[in-house]
Amino acid sequence: MAAPAAKAGNLYVFGDSLSDDGNLYKLTGLPPAPYYQGRFSNGPVWVEYLPGLTGLGFSSANDYAYGGAFTGALTIGTTNAGTNLEAAALPGISTEIASFTAAGGSFGANDVVTLWGGANNYFAYAAAVQANPAAATALVTQGVTTTITQLTQDTTALINLGARMLIVPNLPDLGLTPNFNTTAQGVALGDAFSQAHDAALPTEMQLLHQGTGANIIVLNTEALLNRVVADPSLYGFSNVTNACLYTVSCVTGSIATQNSYLFWDNVHPTTHAQQIIAEYAAASLQGFESLTVPARVNANAAESFAGLLNARLDALQNGASGASYDINGVNGGTADPAHKVAMFLSVTGQFGTRKTEGFDSGYNYRSAVTALGVDMRVNEHLTAGVSLAYNNTHANVSGGGTVQDNGVDVGLYALATSGDAYAKLYAAWDHDNDKTQRNGVIGGITGKPSGTSWSAGGAVGLKFHPTTTIAVGPEFGLGYTQSGLGNYTETGDALLTQSVNSQSYKQLVASAGGTIATSVSLGGVALAPHAGAAAEFLLAGPNQRFSSAFTDVPGVTLTNSYPHQTGSWGLFNLGVSATFTQRFSASLEAATTAFKSDGNDTQVTGNVLWRF
């Protein structure tokens, strides 16, 4: 995966030995060498890899996980097991959260919180089953009910502390671990615990999402382990059944040899497996964060076509058409009654950036639109036209991935004048065919959303004449853009693909500024330079939401929200229209935004026109 830029949020970790970066070791000296620096592995654990893959801030002080932690205080039958498998009084997950709370801990809106636990509960219950096999069914039911209830309480406590994005992995199939996989009875017992746990967890996480709005990614480590065991070489393993720690040739071998094993000891993965878990967690986050990009890119494409139509209106107003006319002789070009209809070819290029905000990926994009159009001078006060265009927009998404939009546009526009006053109107419709691509862990992920975009707007203005060759005046405008996508499902690695519901991205922008225009003759060519500057204001922004779900855990939905836009910014444009003959003219216009905190846009549009 590409190295990501630093994010505003931090990573916080709660759980057991799968996430402990040395906390239990500091208290007890466990686990000893050859365990790696107090980790329950031969190297870093997954949450230590995750910051480098996501850009999240992290320090060891953010890791509250303890090896051996139960999900809460555990009582099995009449036995009080306490809060930790290693020793009853050691911290459990509920203790970790309570300590964090007592220290005044809370989470910011951009933080990611991980919570992984439950296996230690089932190790304790498995011992009870061994002591009383006849009670196996009841103990499995009790163990899963207790564990899921406590995990739900733990997750609720984290949400109450401000967590809005959580990663709560389910459990890998315990029956596949060396602790259980040596006998048929062991495999069956491990399977019973983990399968019941993984069946119940999504329901509770979905209820929490519905009740609180917090997004919870249930990382499917059960499916991941099953895949690794089924195809070890795909993930770089040669042994997926034995524990490296208890195999002399492995534990005394090189790191590469150790990492060819899936399991470090009887229940914990090697650091290579831990890294793979982190890669799936990071890819899941990146996939979720990228879902708002296609509709925003389509809106950029719609704005690019709208910009082309506005450039055409500016050209009409400033003399680059037989259907145009001069306003008090200063806009260059005089309407020729014999040539009321004009056909034009226009090409525009636009590029810009959008910054990453919260859990919405940023991107940089470039858009090219090629249009053919016809306009007609209806009378001396009104010119109207129609344009057909093809747009091609490409975006590179922050953190990796691309969005490609190919669309067909249809636009209508009109210019009306009365003396020194004028009004410009446009409306456009676009059909978008998108293709999204991003890296997974094994292979890529592809989406093919499609939908429609439309935009409409206009401006009114008034010209004043400080000299006979210069016109200046105020201009006020309003523009609306809406981009919609239908339901779609990504293809690729089934552990990372998402099913995405329909969505709609909208924005309403007002502008207030001024324009200046003049006319000169150069070598027999009538030139009409013009410029404008305006302040733009977001009146209604993209606060819409839509839902998505990972296809391997379809029962847990997530809510995607479009990022907040800056409230105001500047817009500047500069252009020139040139009339070469009564039939042939051209124009060139450049426009750019400025002071836009979420990213700026620049557009260059050229027109050539022939009159009939």
Please give the average per-residue pLDDT across 86-110, as a whole number. 97
Averaged pLDDT of the chain: 93
Q: What is residue 3's predicted lDDT score, i.e. its pLDDT?
A: 58
| For the ranges 105-114, 305-314, 370-379, the one whose mean pLDDT is highest | 105-114
Q: What is residue 543's predicted lDDT score, i.e. its pLDDT?
A: 67
Q: What is residue 170's predicted lDDT score, i.e. its pLDDT?
A: 98
24 shares its domain with 127: yes
Residue 508 has pLDDT above 50, yes or no: yes
Closest CA to 5 of 396, 441, 351, 292: 396
Residue-number span of the structural domain to which 113 is assigned: 11-269
Per-residue pLDDT reduced to its tens digit, 432-443:
999 999 999 999
| Residue 76 resides in a domain | yes
Q: What is residue 542's predicted lDDT score, i.e. its pLDDT?
A: 64
461 shares its domain with 502: yes
Q: What is residue 521's predicted lDDT score, i.e. its pLDDT?
A: 87
Please give the average per-residue pLDDT across 327-351, as a whole number. 66
Return all residues near 264 (Cβ < 8 A) that are at least 6 apart: 35, 40, 41, 42, 243, 244, 245, 258, 270, 271
Tokens of residue 337, six digits: 């009654």
Rounded Cα distance between 172 and 197, Å, is 10
By CB atoms closer than 10 A (0-12, 13-18, 19+), residue 169 is: buried
Please give the average per-residue pLDDT across 142-166, as a whole number. 98
Please give the average per-residue pLDDT across 67-86, as a whole number. 97
Closest CA to 365 of 605, 54, 602: 602
Per-residue pLDDT reduced to its tens digit, 17-38:
999 999 999 999 999 999 999 9
Residue 331 has pLDDT above 90, yes or no: no
| Residue 6 resides in a domain | no
State percent of the chain over pLDDT 70: 95
Please give the average per-residue pLDDT across 197-222, as a whole number. 98
Closest CA to 54 of 110, 3, 113: 3
Residue 328 has pLDDT above 80, yes or no: no
Residue 159 has pLDDT above 70, yes or no: yes
What is the greatest pairwise CA distance in the chain? 104
| Residue 526 resides in a domain | yes
| Residue 195 resides in a domain | yes
| Residue 289 resides in a domain | no
> Residue 583: which pLDDT band, with cuts at 50, 70 and 90?
confident
363 shares its domain with 250: no
Q: For 502-555, what is the HEC assignment? A: CEEEEEEEEEEEEEEEECEEECCEEEEEEEEEEEEEEEECCCCEEEEEECCCCC
34 shares its domain with 179: yes
| Residue 174 resides in a domain | yes
Q: What is residue 340's predicted lDDT score, i.e. its pLDDT?
A: 83
Q: What is residue 188's predicted lDDT score, i.e. its pLDDT?
A: 97
CA distance to 315, 332, 497, 527, 551, per residue, from 522 (Å)? 18, 12, 61, 7, 65
> Residue 581: which pLDDT band, with cuts at 50, 70 and 90?
confident
| Residue 2 resides in a domain | no
43 shares its domain with 131: yes
428 shares its domain with 391: yes
409 shares its domain with 492: yes
Please give the average per-residue pLDDT across 170-174, as a whole number. 98
Domains held by the chain: number: 2
Per-residue pLDDT reduced to its tens digit, 267-293:
999 999 999 999 999 999 999 999 999
Per-residue pLDDT reduced to its tens digit, 358-389:
999 999 999 999 999 999 989 989 999 999 99
Closest CA to 571 of 511, 522, 501, 523: 511
| Residue 600 resides in a domain | yes
Domain end among 210, 234, 269: 269
Tokens of residue 549, six digits: 């779900």
264 shares its domain with 365: no
Residue 392 has pLDDT above 60, yes or no: yes
Per-residue pLDDT reduced to its tens digit, 186-203:
999 999 999 999 999 999
CATH at 97: 3.40.50.1110
Q: What is residue 337's predicted lDDT score, i.e. its pLDDT?
A: 55
Q: What is residue 612's predicted lDDT score, i.e. its pLDDT?
A: 75
Q: What is residue 330's predicted lDDT score, i.e. its pLDDT?
A: 32
CA distance to 22, 36, 48, 91, 491, per residue, from 32 (Å)? 11, 8, 19, 19, 44
Q: What is residue 264's predicted lDDT score, i.e. its pLDDT?
A: 98
Rounded Cα distance between 238 and 260, Å, is 5
Gyration radius from the chain CA atoms: 32
Q: What is residue 326's predicted lDDT score, i.e. its pLDDT?
A: 33
380 shares its domain with 437: yes
Q: What is residue 335's predicted lDDT score, i.e. its pLDDT?
A: 43
| Helix/strand/coil for 154 | helix
CATH at 568: 2.40.128.130
344 shares its domain with 487: yes
The residue that leads in pLDDT, 523 or 275, is 275
Per-residue pLDDT reduced to its tens digit, 127-149:
999 999 999 999 999 999 999 99
394 shares its domain with 251: no
> Residue 5: which pLDDT band, with cuts at 50, 70 and 90?
low
37 shares its domain with 186: yes
| Helix/strand/coil for 329 | coil
Domain end among 254, 269, 284: 269
Domain end among 269, 304, 326: 269
